[in-house]
Amino acid sequence: MAEQTQPKQRRARNEFEPVKVGWLGACLDGEGGGYDRIHRMAFDEALEQGTLTRQVEHVIHVEDGLPNGSAKNAVDGYRWLVDQGCVIIAGAYSSDNAIAVAPVANELKVPIVSWCGTERYSGEYCFRLGNGDCGGDAALMAGWLKRKGHKRIAVLNEVSPNGEEYFRFFRQECRRLGIGVGAVETVPQQPKDLAENLLNLKQSNCDALAYMGYGMLVAQGLMRPALEKIGWDPPRIMTTAFMFYLVGFEHFEGWVGIDQLCPDNALVEPFRAEFHKRHGANPPMWPNAIPVLAYDTARVMVEALHRAPILTGPGLKDGLERIRFMPSATGGPRTHIAAAPGDHNMFKGDWLLYGRVRDAKLEFEGLYEPVPGTF
């Protein structure tokens, strides 16, 4: 006798299917993890406040893209999320993965919100909440060096698309500010003898050290012992790769870097307090910028759903482009979020700033201020 199956229950007349939103990226922490809870909190708040009136299903694909995996993994993950019915996706957080995903997003017409920092990520369905900006990082780094009185800089330049883009902008900014690049060591992401590269820079007698690249040389604990081995403790600054401090502040001791967490931002403490109220603990590795960036990403997706004329990929693109002057938890107190047709770089204002790690703790170093007489 054939096994009988229960008939599928029909939805109530006024009940709608949940709308699906996709999450693509290795830093998502998995379903139920710290960042997943941040994303869901933003959506729960919107449902409680009535900004959203339709339930949401979160679809997660933890891709192993670049630099550890391949760009194909990121592209395949994006396609999989589209196949699941997602109408908006956040992810492809590193620049190399975002560049690979961009043409596919423009082809399949489902918007993706990335944290990447490259100007080469672009298109009708590509939106950016930058976890840094190659040109912006370089401008802030050169500005800090100028204000501190450093005139001749040693550069550790990493062989990667990010490293090359950072260095191109950095040279331009240094030239404009009258700062000399006194020595350059170009290294792979896994150098054979980092201490030797750094010794060459030390012997150039430059005033300070600037590091361009993914940040893995610091985050993986290679940089600090190499500097200690050669007895060099220069003033030093790095790009928004500085925000890898979330893997362990001790690796970043003594570094100034481009950051996005500002204690003067009026949304930061309410975010922390609300997360603590709901989960009985502070956000992961608090304080650091990544939780507030994750929160803003989810809030942007909420706003896109709220403003979309229809819940399709093209409709969500229109919803994103209708966001104006949305307060941001990321960045300084004058940061806001907006987009428009032809303008998909969504952070506006003082969204990049300076941080420092001292005694294995993150400190706020200050907001960017233009150097007088340089424009």
74 membership: H or E segment, kind and range = helix 71-83
Residues 61 and 302: their CA atoms lie apart, in Å, by: 19
pLDDT for 3: 37
- Look at 200 and 214; give whichever has higher pLDDT: 200
pLDDT (tens digit, 9 = 90+) per residue, 54-106? 999 999 998 767 767 788 899 999 999 999 999 999 998 888 889 999 999 99
- Look at 40 and 13; give whichever has higher pLDDT: 40
Contacts of 216 (CB under 8 A, 6+ apart): 67, 189, 222, 241, 244
| 302 and 87 Cβ atoms separated by less than 8 Å | no
pLDDT (tens digit, 9 = 90+) per residue, 19-32? 999 999 755 555 55
pLDDT for 27: 52
pLDDT for residue 5 is more than 50: no
**What is the CATH class of 19-132+265-344?**
alpha beta
Query: How confident is the prediction for the chain on average, in pLDDT?
Result: 91
Q: What percent of the chain has pLDDT over 70?
A: 92
Phi, then psi, of 124 in degrees rounded to 5? -65, -30
Residues 335 and 129: their CA atoms lie apart, in Å, by: 12
pLDDT for 371: 80
pLDDT for 305: 98
pLDDT for 221: 94
pLDDT for 248: 87
Residue 366, strand partner residues: 354
pTM of the model: 0.90
Phi, then psi, of 261 in degrees rounded to 5? -110, 120
Band of residue 372 on the pLDDT scale cut at 50, 70, 90: confident
Phi, then psi, of 156 in degrees rounded to 5? -100, 110
Instruction: Outline which parts of the chain fall under CATH 3.40.50.2300.
Output: 19-132+265-344, 134-259+354-367
CATH hierarchy code of domain 134-259+354-367: 3.40.50.2300
Residue with tokens 């430059």: 206
Residues 272 and 287: their CA atoms lie apart, in Å, by: 9
pLDDT for 185: 96
Phi, then psi, of 353 in degrees rounded to 5? -150, -170
Band of residue 2 on the pLDDT scale cut at 50, 70, 90: very low
pLDDT for 70: 81
pLDDT for 200: 97
pLDDT for residue 308 is more than 60: yes
Peptide bond between residue 67 and the one before it cis (omega within 30 degrees of 0): yes
pLDDT (tens digit, 9 = 90+) per residue, 129-141? 999 999 999 999 9
- Would you mind telling me the total number of residues written for the chain in this entry? 375
- How far, rounded to the nearest angstrom, does the alpha carbon of residue 245 sit from its chain's CA centroid? 13
- How far, rounded to the nearest angstrom, does the alpha carbon of residue 200 sit from its chain's CA centroid? 32
Q: What percent of the chain has pLDDT over 90?
A: 77
pLDDT (tens digit, 9 = 90+) per residue, 124-174? 999 999 999 999 999 999 999 999 999 999 999 988 767 788 999 999 999
Residues 76 and 42: their CA atoms lie apart, in Å, by: 27
Band of residue 6 on the pLDDT scale cut at 50, 70, 90: very low
Radius of gyration of the chain from its Cα atoms, rounded to whole angstroms: 22
Q: Using alpha carbons only, what angle is made at residue 313 by residues 312 and 314, rounded to the nearest 5 degrees? A: 95
pLDDT for 26: 53
Residues 82 and 108: their CA atoms lie apart, in Å, by: 8
Peptide bond between residue 188 and the one before it cis (omega within 30 degrees of 0): no
Q: Across 119-128, 264-273, 281-290, which has the greatest mean pLDDT?
A: 264-273
274 membership: H or E segment, kind and range = helix 268-279
pLDDT for 374: 67
Residue 60, strand partner residues: 23
| 200 and 230 Cβ atoms separated by less than 8 Å | no
